[in-house]
Amino acid sequence: MGQIATNLQQAIAAGNETDQHNIIVTTSGQQLQGFKLKNIEGLDSLFKGALTSTEITELAQNKEVIAVELDGENFIN
């Protein structure tokens, strides 16, 4: 199960269910199906996207996910 970073947990707690959070996901190398994530160019196991708190919780439960972090550097743009 992936770990949700502390700063992302705080952002989720401060927001509401419909808020989307820009995130970076570290996986075991696989592209995850069913989530709107894009590969970060040149980095095989890192993906970026904007998901709701419910989607982030579901994502973190995927066995391929190692970590989910808040995108503080705005890679998503």
What the chain holds in terms of domains, given with CATH numbers, is 3-70 (3.30.70)
Q: Render pLDDT for 1-48 as a digit per residue (tens, 0 to 9).
A: 568 888 888 888 888 889 999 999 999 977 788 999 999 888 889 999
Q: What is the mean pLDDT of residues 43-71?
A: 91
pTM: 0.82
Largest CA distance in the chain: 33
- Rounded CA-CA distance 22/45 in Å is 17
Report the DSSP pairing between strands 21-27 and 46-51: antiparallel
Number of residues written out for the chain: 77
Taken in order 24, 33, 10, 5, the sign of the CA dihedral is negative
